[in-house]
Structure 1
Amino acid sequence: MTAPQTIVLAGGCFWCTEAVYVKVRGVTDVESGYSNGTAQRPSYEQVCSGSTGHAEVVKLTYDPQQISTRQILEIFFVVHDPTQLNRQGNDTGTQYRSGIYFTTDEQRQVAEDMIREMSRDHLYDRPIVTEVQPLANYWPAEDYHQDFFEKNPYQGYCVAVAAPKVAKFRKTFAELVKD
């Protein structure tokens, strides 16, 4: 039996990223949080100010026998724009940067290889700006951010931004949707 793995992804607002990954077969836990900044136990307000250097992230625990790191990252690169520096759509600031924060060398290698391949194949019109770094200084987000989309599906941001990302995931990766 293979041990579960953890990887942390920054793809803009964590509500949207979490909403997608809770639907992914093989992902056993999803937690919204903050990582790769300087402050200890940062609050949402502090992270939003840009003063902590943290990114809004989701921490994924997954079963590598059910889903590979590459598949996790294929979803990531489809449901957000990895060419937008420090923003996703109307959300702007370093907290909305694109990032892959790895916990194993294999995850780092897969991420770097994929970015190299996508760049070589000109998959995007602009350069990929996703940072690939070791996970550092992770903190869970406040309770009200956890499962936000599931608890608030009709909230304006969820309808306008998160729901289309979930729909795109379901359409593009139908074979990976949890039953």
Structure 2
Amino acid sequence: MTDKNLQLATFGGGCFWCTEAVFQEVKGVEKVVSGYSGGTVPGKPTYREVCSGLTGHAEVIQVTFNPNVISFKEILIIFMTTHDPTTLNRQGGDTGTQYRSVIYYHSSTQKEVAEQVLKEVASYYEDKIVTEISQLDVFYEAEDYHQDYYKNNKEQGYCSFVITPKLAKLRKLHANKLK
């Protein structure tokens, strides 16, 4: 990072197009990049390989944020309340390990905060939270056509039927945290 005031957060909550669109609207978020992490196959994976479910990678986003505007804890609360952290390897119609709910921490402090947030939001859900908390190993940036996907494809069916309702939920639950 060139700006020492900025920090990184990396997590996945299903399709990265959804989580990217959510965090592009959050105050204090400087940049959101879609990508892959958590796999067991060496080398940079392709979207097709990740979608096969054979690489072990999750679709994730990496958020560059200003902690003087929004804290890591606040980011995680938004994350945990804008996807379903109780469904193992699934978000809506998207199924497979690549769609798992996961927080990749960058430091021991982030790990502690993630564990705390999961405990705090547990009562919000009827079912048990299955969100994985793991140390970030490598983040691979997804192909260019996945970046800013919702902004560039709002009329596409998936965007209209899946992402637009997630954004409505974000705006309802976290209006005071939006740009």
Q: Normalising TM by the smaller chain, what interval?
A: over 0.9
Structure 1: unaligned runs, 5 residues or longer? none
Aligned residue type for 1:116: K
| Aligned equivalent of 1:163 | 164
Displacement after TM superposition at 1:3 (Å)? 2.0
| Aligned equivalent of 1:113 | 116
Which of 80, 84, 109 in structure 2 is aligned with 1:81? Answer: 84
Give SS of 1:29's match.
Answer: strand
Displacement after TM superposition at 1:105 (Å)? 1.6
Alignment of structure 1 residues 115-130 onto 2, 5 Å: 115-119=118-122, 122-130=123-131
Distance 1:116 1:149 in 2: 31
Give SS of 1:171's match.
Answer: helix
Q: Does 1:9 align with 2:7?
A: no
Distance 1:165 1:68 in 2: 21
Displacement after TM superposition at 1:2 (Å)? 6.0
* TM-score when normalising by structure 2: 0.95
Give SS of 1:28's match.
Answer: strand
Cα RMSD, aligned residues only: 1.2
Aligned residue type for 1:96: Y
* TM-score when normalising by structure 1: 0.95
Count of equivalent residues: 176
| Aligned equivalent of 1:138 | 139
Q: Deviations over 1:25-68 (max 9, x none)?
A: 00101000000112311000000001110000000010000001
Structure 2: unaligned runs, 5 residues or longer? none
Q: Where do 4+ consecutive residues of structure 1 move more than 4 Å?
A: none
Displacement after TM superposition at 1:114 (Å)? 1.4
| Aligned equivalent of 1:54 | 57
| Aligned equivalent of 1:151 | 152
Aligned residue type for 1:170: R
Which of 26, 34, 38 in structure 2 is aligned with 1:36? Answer: 38
Aligned residue type for 2:174: F
Displacement after TM superposition at 1:175 (Å)? 1.0
Give SS of 1:3's match.
Answer: coil
| Aligned equivalent of 1:103 | 106
Q: Deviations over 1:137-179 (max 9, x none)?
A: 210000000000000001000000011111111121111111x
Percent sequence identity is: 52
Which of 64, 70, 73 in structure 1 is aligned with 2:73? Answer: 70
1:37/1:136 contact within 8 Å kept: no
